[in-house]
Each structure stands twice: as structure tokens, then as C-alpha cells.
A and B are shown apart, each in its own frame.
Chain A
Amino acid sequence: MQPSIEKLNATRQFRMTQQIPLLPPDQKQSLLEGFHPDYKKGTMRELLLGPNKGDKTPHELANLFEAYTATDPSLADLKCPDYDVDVLVIGGGGAGVSAALVAQAAGANVLLVTKLRVADANTTMAQGGIQAADKPNDSPAIHYLDVLGGGGYKNKPDLARALTYDAPAIIAWLEEMGVLFDKNADGAMLTIHGGGTSRKRMHTCRDYTGLEIMRCLKDEMLNCRVPVIEYNAATELLLDADGKCAGAVLLDLENNRVRVVRAKTTILATGGCGRLHVQGFPTSNHYGATADGLVLAYRAGAKLAFIDTIQYHPTGVAFPTQIVGQLITEKVRSVGAQLTNVEGNRFIYELETRDCTASAIIRECQERNLGVKTPTGDFGVWLDTPLIELLKGPGTIQKQLPAMYRQFINFGIDMTKEPILTYPTQHYQNGGILIDDKGETTVKGLYVAGEAAGGIHGRNRLMGNSLLDILVFGRRAGVAASESARQSAKSAAKLSLDHAKKYNTLAKELGFPKERKAPILLPDYRPEPYKGHFTFFECG
């Protein structure tokens, strides 16, 4: 790697003034079709059952939809629910917590359940920033156009509209909650660009933006005494006699007990699917990102959208081995770091949209053979981080990217002096459960917010719009679910899991392998002979 670093050092002076234009639309499209993993042949299949029957999705996701229920539906005692609430929130990340806060403030009796701990979520890991058009040269309309262009013009217009319309109010709400945004002395936000933005509207909290937002939300939730049960994973949704969502079945991961929650309305905020490792990619996602909510909603009859598109973040760690796939925030490029190949040459404008930049990196390594070989035989490209210090002054990295600096110095790499090696990593589920602008799904009484929702970002999400969408739609779902709960005076008289039983029957008819069960709740990284022998499920 050392000779390549010398080449990169030699080209740095030239690169400091080198301008690379944005790709024209036709070149962008052919780059995506040639190298984006979504377009790779043989990696997806058409679903054989359910509301999206016939739609394509990666095999890893299809294996969850074409599966039996994880818990036996006959085990749950539906006659005497363990909990009876107005609003059940499933998931303890940014979307779930903001939904719970809003619903409780509206007077609802709320219960939040989560598979791991509150704040064990991708929200905590989001580093780069949160978008909002709140400066005089910007507007929700300009933001909207960036969102649509980034999403391939496929986004659901009412959802993209809600996203950009609510954004400035979300920033104001976070300020009120004490979130420490990077600001000038007069209070003006120090905003920067992200990939695909036409205005500098990325609001940051150093490179701990998601952590800072999440810990404030969690602290507020604890102060407001929202009832929370941790280490309880939802394994099925309940329906009432009219097919309306009426709560969920929980599995306690610490004692394998099955519990039943009856709720007037339910908000799913269970996040994405990074831990499925689509096409064998490493992931930047947290331990619990196993698409549970998608599986539950699908079996209950909810329509999904854009399930054939996964976001690969251009810059995952390619070396050192121990942290392969972890995120190198886009903010590193926003503040000036450039991507170069083994010869030290740039090959793409660094702030193209993520689908495009990731594809260009893959092309550089696979087709052009200009990747940098890592000690483990994998390939990556350089991210010239010392350039940041040259452009923005010494000390910029430690001040603006402390988390990144820590991550690499832990392994003896000083990114202020040496470039870092990077390769795309599975980062985000662009699609999900289809919602309307209030967060409601095609199943009445079932609301979805956060990464589990689909339609907002079309086929590709821009940096900084995920921290935004979890709060916009978390709050909207919290408002709508509590309002709907208030209007239904009585809880469901009869709870049903017939939909799950029917799903199992159909699964058997279609001949799915007996051992294929979903949701999987956690990935299994153990070697043989342990792999596959879950510590839960077996006691039932």
C-alpha cells in the first residue's frame, strides 16, 4: 500500500484545484446500471406470496417473507392480554422515541417496546448530519427537488413534501430539546453540503449528530416517564375482527416468554435490514437491523414499496479488517476529502448521490482494476483525509470528525497524516412499508415511521434525510396514532392471529424449507456447530 500512498501524495497538489463536474443524467444512469449492486443479475427474486407477490426483492429479504412464523401463533394467549394500551410503539430508535413522546404528550396511554435497549439503533450511528432548508437562500421546494432527483424521481410526492415541509420545525424542536448543533456565536447554523444537495443545509453536531439527537430524545423520554420494556421483540402483529391492527405478540429475549399487547393503534419503528448482509456486503448498521417490522407488517397484509433497492454507502471501512464495513461518514467528503484510485487519481466528483459514488468505486476496483489491494486481498480506494487539514486548517479533523479520528487511531492509523481505505458497505433500506403522509399503512391502525417506512426516498436516499425522516414521520405517526386511538373508545373485542396461521399454511403449500423462520431478530455470527441454534425460539 505504501507505493500507492506515495502516488497519492504526489497528486495532491494538482487535485487541490482539480474540478470534476457532476455527471450528466445519461452517464449517471449507465454507471448505475453497470455497477450498482441493485442491478446485478441473479441477486433478486420475485415474491411468491403476500401483498407484493410478483415484486422483486433481494434473496436475503425474500427468505424472510417466504418463511414460517418465528413463534407458534397458538402459543399466545389472546384472551387475556398482558398489556392494554392506547398506542403501542415497537422500536426504540429515533422514530419510535419521537413517536412515543408526541403520542404521550397528546394524552395517549403509550407503551414502547424494543428488542435491544432504547437507542440501540442506526440513529445513534448516524454521523454526518440532518438536512433542513432553514436558511434564507434555501426553501422546502429546493430541498424537495434535491430529494426527488436523488430518489430517481420515484419518491411518493406527498411523503417527500411532508419531509421537506416539516424539516425546519424539526430543527427548532431539537434546539428546544437542547441538541448541540454546530453554530456561530450568533446562533446561525454552520451548515455544509452532502451528496446531491444544491444548498448547504446539512446541520451537524461534530460527527456525532445521530448520537447527540438520540441521547436527547432518550433523556426526554425518561424524564417524561414513557413506559418502556426493553429486550422484548415483536414477533407478530395482532389484528381485530375487522382486520385492523390491534397490538402485537412479544418475545422476551431474556426468558423466552411470549407476551400479548392489546393496543388501539400500533406504530412500527423497527428500522432496516443491514444485518441481512445483502449480496454478502458488510454493513454499517447496528446489531438488530434484521427487517423484523417488514416481515410483521407484510404478514398482516401491509403493502411494501421499493423493496428492490438497497443503499450501499460509498465509504465503508475497507481496512483495518476488524472494522470492515463500519461507516466513514459522508461528512469526511463534505469537508474536503477526495477519493482516489491506486494511482492517486480521482475518478468521480465526491458529492454525487450515494448510489452513483458507490457505483463508481465498484467500477474502479472491478472493471478498471485500479483498486488498492488490502493486506487481506480485498480491494478499496483511498479517501485522502490529510487533504482536509490542508484545505480547512490543521486540527479540523479532530474538531469536526472526532469519532472518525478515534475509530482509526484505535488501530494505529492517523487519518490526519495518512489516507484511509474505503469500499461500499450496506447502509440503508431505501424502501419499506408503504405509508401515507400521516404514517399510516394499508392496514388500518398500523403506522410506520423511520427506516421501516417506504416511499419517502424513492430509489435512493440523500445523506441527512434519514435523521430527518425518522423525526418527521415519527412525530406525524405519533400524532395520527394517538388521535385515532382517542376516537376509538373501545379496544378490540377479539384479538386474532389467523393471518399468521394462514401464512404458515400457505408457506407449507408453497414448500418453503421448514427451518426458514422469520423474523430472525438477531444475526448469528457464531461458527459451526453453534450457528443456527438460537438461544431463543426453542423454548417457545
Chain B
Amino acid sequence: MEKKKTTCSPRPSDERLEPGKVTIYLMGKAYQVPASLTIMRAMEETGYQFVRGAGCRGGFCGACATVFRTADTYKLKVGLACQTVIQDGMYLAQLPFYPANKATYDLAGFGVQRSGTGARPPDPQSLGPVLVQLYPEVMRCISCNSCTKICPQDIKVMDYVNAAIRGDIAKCSDLSFNCVACGLCATRCPAEISQYHVGMLARRLHGAYILKRAPHTKQMTADIAAGRFDAELDTLAKASTDDLKARYAKREMEK
């Protein structure tokens, strides 16, 4: 019996394309794969089983950062392998990990002036310099904008690095919010800044010290601790299914 040619065998790079297929180059090696696949599916089609380089497969985790180039240009492009469709003549390699610097810190300790749990420093804005203190390399930014140009999430990375330099925590936090920490910005940075870790710090400072704590959450937590709902919950926990059904049917719905 003639052995059927599978899509997953490597091909000589000059071989004629089968209909509906494109040629991609995995770390330089040519394969013909169905044209509509994402990079991740295409790699699996060639017989590659992911251990590193795949995570959520839904565009949220940053595990599948991929650098590629097409034959017609010298320009390097990037994408998340699970969200990017292959193109004919695509040369690609994954960057499943990047050894960027992460500072370790005690977030609660930044509120040293605080009097008790949940309190904050008298002036949250005074925390601005923390970003540069923990990541002094941000000062080496030469404003080349390579980070912004490469970001697969279209984040204005250089702008949030500049906000960090100015000590503008809220701006740095807001601009970096959609970051999935794929690390591609750091790979391109001539100043060796680990932008995504700077953004992380800014967002945590923003959430913990600049945004006001929800007063109703504090109130409810205190009420629960004081046992205000214990009896009602005990009653419900012991209630029969019919009783629960009747109560459920009578629920008042908030508009």
C-alpha cells in the first residue's frame, strides 16, 4: 500500500504548494500546512507537542509569544501563537521565557506610615518614586519606542515607562492594564528594562494605595464578622428544597 504523504513531514523549501496550503518555517525548517490555521495549531499539525509555549490558548496568558518574519521584508513581527493566523512564507520562532529582572517587595510595607491594617500613607502620591527606586533601569530608556511597536496587545509600552519615570503611578497602571506579560517588550529593549514587571508594580500600588477602598465592602465584612447574618444563613442551610424553591421564586430582582 502506498504510504500517504502527511502534512506533518518537513518539505524541501522549493516544493510546489498543495492547494489550500502554505509553507511555514519552524525555526528555519519548512512545512506545508493548511492555510487557515493559527501558528499554534500549525505547529501541532507538524507533529510538535507543546509543553512550553502554550498556556491558555485563548490570548490571556502570554505563554506563546512568537517572533516571525515573512519573506518579503526584513521587518520582524510578533504575535501570540494562539491568536495569529499563519501566512505563506512565515519564518517563526517562539520565545516561551525571557529572563527579565523582577524586583521583590513588600507591598503592604509601602504604607509604612499606616496606622493599622488597610490604612494608607497620608499622601498616596508620595509613592511615585517607588517605581524608579525598585526599577532604576527605567531611567535608561532612550525613547526608541521598540517596546510599543512590538507589543502584541497594542499597549503604549514606552508611554507607561515614561509615566513610571515621572512617578505617575495611575497613568502607568492604566496604560499597562491589558498586559498579558508575554515579555516581548523586554526582548526588544536596548536599555534592558523589564517593562511588564514595572507595569505590574504600578498597578498593584494603584489598586492598593491610590484607589479608595470600597466603604460598603468594609462595612459588610465587619457585619459578617459580627455575626449579623449567621442565624439567617443557618436557617437557609437547614431549609428543605421546597422551602428554598418558594423563597427563590419570591426573590426581589434588582433592576
Interface residues of A (CB under 8 A from B): 25, 116-117, 119-122, 124-125, 132-142, 144-146, 148-149, 153, 157-158, 160-161, 164-165, 168-169, 171-172, 175-181, 183, 185-189, 193, 198-200, 206, 208, 210-212, 215-216, 219-220, 222-223, 225, 231, 253-254, 284, 286-287, 321-323, 326-327, 402-403, 406-407, 410-411, 522, 524-530, 534-536
| B177→A193 contact, CB < 8 A | no
A211→B178 CA distance, assembly (Å): 9
* B47 located at the interface, meaning its Cβ lies under 8 Å from any Cβ of chain A in the complex: yes
CB contacts (< 8 Å) of B217 on chain A: these are 132, 134, 168, 171-172, 175, 189
| B59→A406 contact, CB < 8 A | yes
Interface residues of B (CB under 8 A from A): 6-8, 36-38, 41, 44-45, 47-52, 54-61, 63, 83-85, 102, 104-108, 117-118, 153-154, 173, 177-178, 180-181, 200, 203-209, 211-221, 224-225, 229, 232-233, 236-238, 241, 244-245, 247-249, 251-254
| B49→A216 contact, CB < 8 A | no
A223→B204 CA distance, assembly (Å): 12
| B212→A135 contact, CB < 8 A | no
Nearest-neighbour CB distance to chain B for A451, whole angstroms, equals 14
| B204→A326 contact, CB < 8 A | no
Residue of chain A at shortest CB distance from B118: A176
Neighbour of A165 across the interface among B52, B229, B238, B245, CB < 8 A: B229
Nearest-neighbour CB distance to chain B for A33, whole angstroms, equals 17
| A172→B221 contact, CB < 8 A | yes
The 11 listed contacts between A and B (C-beta, < 8 Å) are A145-B236, A145-B247, A149-B245, A149-B251, A161-B237, A172-B213, A199-B254, A212-B177, A220-B107, A284-B58, A530-B47
| A119→B61 contact, CB < 8 A | yes
Nearest-neighbour CB distance to chain A for B49, whole angstroms, equals 5
Residue of chain A at shortest CB distance from B57: A287
A527→B107 CA distance, assembly (Å): 48
A27→B248 CA distance, assembly (Å): 16
A231→B224 CA distance, assembly (Å): 40
Neighbour of B59 across the interface among A165, A212, A407, CB < 8 A: A407
| A527→B7 contact, CB < 8 A | yes
A410→B38 CA distance, assembly (Å): 12
CB contacts (< 8 Å) of A206 on chain B: these are 177
A326→B181 CA distance, assembly (Å): 20
A219→B202 CA distance, assembly (Å): 12
| A406→B58 contact, CB < 8 A | no
| A153→B58 contact, CB < 8 A | no
| B60→A140 contact, CB < 8 A | no
Nearest-neighbour CB distance to chain B for A286, whole angstroms, equals 4
| B244→A145 contact, CB < 8 A | yes
A74→B36 CA distance, assembly (Å): 46
| B104→A222 contact, CB < 8 A | yes
A215→B61 CA distance, assembly (Å): 10
Neighbour of A524 across the interface among B49, B105, B229, CB < 8 A: B49
Closest 3 CB pairs of A and B: A187-B212, A178-B204, A178-B207
Residue of chain A at shortest CB distance from B44: A525
A134→B216 CA distance, assembly (Å): 6
| B173→A157 contact, CB < 8 A | no
A145→B224 CA distance, assembly (Å): 17
- A286 and B57 in contact (CB under 8 A), knowing A183-B214, A206-B177? yes
For the complex with contacts A117-B61, A140-B224, 16 further pairs of A-B residues with Cβ separation under 8 Å are A25-B245, A125-B56, A133-B220, A134-B214, A134-B220, A137-B254, A157-B238, A160-B237, A164-B233, A177-B207, A181-B207, A187-B215, A198-B253, A211-B60, A286-B57, A527-B47
A535→B237 CA distance, assembly (Å): 49
| A198→B215 contact, CB < 8 A | no
Residue of chain A at shortest CB distance from B4: A528
- A139 and B61 in contact (CB under 8 A), knowing A180-B177, A187-B212? no
Neighbour of B208 across the interface among A124, A175, A199, CB < 8 A: A175
- A169 and B221 in contact (CB under 8 A), knowing A188-B216, A522-B49? yes
| B56→A223 contact, CB < 8 A | no
A206→B216 CA distance, assembly (Å): 20
| B104→A225 contact, CB < 8 A | yes
| B58→A286 contact, CB < 8 A | yes
- A136 and B56 in contact (CB under 8 A), knowing A198-B252, A219-B200? no
A118→B182 CA distance, assembly (Å): 13
Residue of chain A at shortest CB distance from B199: A215
Nearest-neighbour CB distance to chain B for A398, whole angstroms, equals 11
Nearest-neighbour CB distance to chain A for B31, whole angstroms, equals 12
CB contacts (< 8 Å) of B63 on chain A: these are 116-117, 120
Neighbour of B178 across the interface among A122, A198, A402, CB < 8 A: A402
| B232→A141 contact, CB < 8 A | yes
CB contacts (< 8 Å) of A158 on chain B: these are 237
A137→B104 CA distance, assembly (Å): 40
| A165→B55 contact, CB < 8 A | no
| B56→A141 contact, CB < 8 A | no
CB contacts (< 8 Å) of A181 on chain B: these are 207, 211, 214
Neighbour of B236 across the interface among A117, A144, A171, CB < 8 A: A144
- A140 and B233 in contact (CB under 8 A), knowing A125-B60, A287-B56, A403-B178? yes
Nearest-neighbour CB distance to chain A for B223, whole angstroms, equals 9
CB contacts (< 8 Å) of A411 on chain B: these are 85
A175→B8 CA distance, assembly (Å): 49
CB contacts (< 8 Å) of B58 on chain A: these are 125, 284, 286, 323, 326-327
A410→B83 CA distance, assembly (Å): 8
A254→B49 CA distance, assembly (Å): 12
CB contacts (< 8 Å) of B117 on chain A: these are 176
